Structure 1
């Protein structure tokens, strides 16, 4: 296939720390009021309105929020969960378990302390972003498992690690587990909506589901997330699902809640979304304020250095302190009690510079050992030791923020604010470290507060997902890769490698295969409103299939190659069905052997969304057939 042309395109704290001051009964009163107000805005249940549901599927905790286009400024975060009794929480643990006999599912707060379960499974949707070995080792003497979690607090089932936990009591793969967990979130959301708005209203109103995912994930991982969601009941009654990157969602909510003095045209913001697994960063520039419109300033970055890694580093610290003989014979309940103390107490309240120099961590049943700092079932951990657990993660986040700031500065612009959001973004210690680091560098007399931590930092992502379903605020985004397509063209010995040379028996020409036409450059501005066209010309003999398979490829080199090399990876294979294209749109020809063939000019249209790619096939500007993307 040959192509030509180029488009002008451009952990977390546990339940007790999550208690809301609003009781369950008051929450029900609020939703009843919402239902009454909606009923008064429309003559029919549907009334042309939409319900928008945002789902923040997290590594350690997940959240759901919803709103209605009849009252777009009201965003309701689900606070009550199965198994939570009368307690309320804006997030539910990302945990799931299967009964080995009945196969019944329990999830979230239904899973009780010390019950074996599967956790952190979200990370395995993108294995390339599993924890770095250096994060999991406090010194060279501590052995780590490359690419796997190991130790306490991950699956609660014997310390066998996440990889083993994924098949706990079943043979499900990661996609199945994610689907089952999202199914639980979906079903509970429908229950909440029915109670708040009435079942008849919900069933007759279009629901748009906006699911968040890390911006640093590969296109394949994002597609896997969307595929898992589509296997749930979310698409019932023709309801739609879309993806949005987590930092973009956080930015949408946070920027709309900032004081007007921060929102001046030309201001640049770095959004640091620090969650349980990933830390994502994207920078935005304010294009206009009324209504608010923003665009990505520079290409986003991120890595797996969230607060879940602190748990793993704490586990490594305990291994080093106790030694393998004690650690590996310690009861699982003792390990889990220690992790609970670390999560609820130390990790949450630790603030640099305060008077407390020793932090007692519970290790029930462990024998007194003065040399190891064990006394009456508690291990004494010094401030310096806690800092050593935090430090590599803090430094990695600072490095990521530095990269965003430098990229903005290289454009001749300045960063006015760093917005810290997400579960880990709620950490007082992380906030203080960033504030102390960046205030001297970036603050001015008119703008002294460089680092801001919104009150709703933990729910900013899920609230922003609802806002995205209500309105479009981001005008353009920056491409994270070069994108192009494989094709072949007429062979030219002055530009093509002879290894790519082959004879086309239909056109009786020498062609060069494995060539690449790059249509999007890394850092290009792309917009949902403008698709990118990949023009092609293909020839068929009568016996040839009209089902075509093309390849979308990407590259991160500064200068991408013109042909396939080791630095080029396949994003997905695109299967197009041309059987519905009318015959009159084909050209006809005959070669020297009187073999007749048909030729067709067509374009592949790709739309770059916040966290997904959409494809269409067009001939003469008209859409024909279906294009399916098989991500590699």
Structure 2
């Protein structure tokens, strides 16, 4: 296909947004030039957006200064730390408690209204995105070309947290004005699309399996993919349900912060400004350069300007000598958790693993790579793709291009995914003492028999899932005619996150996921079938289907009734 000859109506600008715990990235591409992905690397450092700092990503930080909202690099280094809001992404899934202690309380207090803070931050990202696009492509092109946004979210997040992310993007200034279509994609899937495309195509075989370990600031997500086709496009399927945990590099930063406060917090001259400068040095230099080969007695200088010399503490001329053994102690609990996740993923996959691909900011760590290599052995390669820090945002753009241009055979395709948990709803069925035992039963006047509520599972943990193959659940919605015309069909969707087999009936481990509601008030009552019940009453009896399409990081529900599709199904996550 000649992409340069796409009609104006077919052209789109695909934008990937990697909203991270510590840093965020934005990249874009035009559908007529899908091989040219552009990451934004210039970020505002003052109120005048034209001045900027060069960096592959921008800090996920916010500060309210009067009526102004400062963000990323535009927050002055001298700003009081209590005014700088960070780690707010963790608040979307109720993860701020994982920070723990005084730091966790401070983060929660600073953030306040999580949804507002995230909307304000993504608004700033969106404003800078639109400014950059106008500078690069011209006002006319941007104004007349539809935008499609692909926003990445951790795969281990709850559906509610993913939905809150999407809603923040819909509210965000600049992005909301474009009326853009917004897709959600899981971070490890986006990373996989980038990392797998970068592998040597001549060295790949059908059946090769790879673990993708997307280690970011807040979360570490893992998925195993197996190659099922090499031509016309590289196609992979998930081999096992993905796993993950809150053990990203943010937790190493927190441990360093706590270490420094314990070590120097009681000394004269130690204040928030000293701590902020030390944290920046650790984040940007020491944490990234530390390797397994470092000696326990090696020292790494940390700036502590204004503090008096103290040989016992290791302070000399405004520098604190951080020892290799201290860094190792700071790293170890987090590193061990990541290694355990990778080992568990390899075991769960139950197939020979060719390589582990480390992506994400934390995935760029040499120390993590070396520790993993020692733990796993030489039979499995540990690989860090180039630009691993940008793997997720570039993969997001590739996912958007794949959705918009399914005919492009240069893009990696994910054919099948594995269900991470059981999804289903609860329906009434005729009571069977052999099947239902002590499940509470009730009398049904319509059918004149005892019935029980049991689970009807759309998908079960480990099931193969394809975006092109929806799941259907047939059901009969009834209502007494004497109570008036049925105006809405409602359904509660439940999930069971445990590793057990899907239970017959709902219990304490099956939790409510969302309410799904379809408005059928516009359907003429003449289309409603009626039946006289055993109790002599007249009942509506509507034969329906719910179609569920499970995407990378979201679900779409559609009601089918009388051969018609009703896409006006609303989903409220709880």
Is the structural similarity TM-score above 0.5? yes
Q: Which residue of 1 aligns with 2:521?
A: 579
Shift of 1:90: 1.6
Distance across 1 between alignment mates of 2:431 and 2:419: 31
Q: Secondary structure at the match of 1:561?
A: coil
Which of the residues 290, 301, 310 maps onto 1:350? Answer: 290
Q: Once the 2 structures are TM-superposed, how far is the Cα of residue 354 of structure 1 from its aligned partner?
A: 3.6
1:594 Cα deviation from its structure 2 partner:
4.2
Q: Residue in 1 aligned with 2:78?
A: 114
Is 1:294 matched up with 2:236? Answer: yes
8 Å CA contact 1:272–1:282 kept in 2: the answer is: yes
Q: Is residue 383 from structure 1 mapped to residue 340 from structure 2 by the alignment?
A: no
Q: Secondary structure at the match of 2:35?
A: strand
SS in 2 for 1:122: helix
| Of 548, 551, 557, the match for 1:609 | 551
Relative CO higher for 1 or 2, CA cutoff 8 Å, sep ≥ 6?
A: 1
Residues 158-215 of structure 1, C-alpha deviations (whole Å, 9 max, x = no match): xx62101103xxxxx1111111111111121111112222222222222110000111
**SS of match in other structure, 1:364:** coil
Structure 1 residue 592: Cα displacement: 5.2
Between the aligned partners of 2:567 and 2:361, the Cα distance in structure 1 is 44
Q: 1:97 aligns with which of 38, 63, 66?
A: 63
Residue number in structure 2 paired with 1:434:
372
Q: CA contact under 8 A between 1:235 and 1:241: conserved in structure 2?
A: no
CA distance in 1, matches of 2:461, 2:535: 45
The CA deviation at 1:252 is: 0.4
Report what 1:217 is aligned to: 157
Counterpart check, 1:366 vs 2:293: no
Query: Secondary structure at 1:372's aligned position in 2?
Result: coil
Q: What's 1:72 paired with?
A: 34
450, 458, 478: which one aligns with 1:539: 478
TM-fit CA distance, 1:423: 0.8
- Residue 163 of structure 1 is aligned with which of 87, 108, 115? 108
Consecutive unaligned residues in structure 1, runs of 5 or more = 1-36, 134-143, 151-159, 168-172, 444-449
Aligned runs of 1:115-154 on 2, under 5 Å?
Answer: 115=79, 116-128=83-95, 130-131=97-98, 144=101, 149-150=103-104
How many residues matched? 551
Q: CA deviation at 1:273?
A: 0.8
Contact 1:269/1:285 (CA < 8 Å) preserved in 2?
yes
- Pick from 455, 460, 485: which aligns with 2:391? 460
The corresponding residue for 1:529 is 468
Trace 1:474-513 onto structure 2 (pairs within 5 A). 474-496=414-436, 500-513=440-453
- TM-score, normalised relative to structure 1: 0.83
Q: Deviations over 1:398-441 (max 9, x none)?
A: 11110111122x2xx2111111111111112212222333342x
1:246 aligns with 2:212: no
Distance 1:424 1:511 in 2: 53
Q: Identify the structure with the greater strand proportion.
A: 2
Q: Is the 8 A contact 1:214 1:280 kept in 2?
A: yes
Aligned to 1:56: 18
2: CA distance, partners of 1:477 / 1:499:
34
RMSD, aligned CA: 2.3
Q: Is 1:420 aligned to residue 358 of structure 2? A: yes
**2:531 match:** 589
Aligned counterparts of 1:60 and 1:237: Cα–Cα separation in 2: 27
1:505 deviates by 4.4
* 8 Å Cα contact 2:152-2:186 kept in structure 1: yes
1:451 to 382, 397, 401: 382
* More displaced 10-residue stretch of structure 1: 380-389 or 539-548: 539-548
Paired residues of 1:418 and 1:452 also in contact (CA < 8 A): yes
CA shift for structure 1 position 231: 1.6
Of the three residues 398, 404, 411, the one matched with 2:339 is 398
1:580 Cα offset (Å)? 3.1
Q: TM-score, normalised by structure 2?
A: 0.91
Q: 1:547 to 1:86 in 2, by over 3 A?
A: closer
1:203 equivalent in alignment to 2:203: no
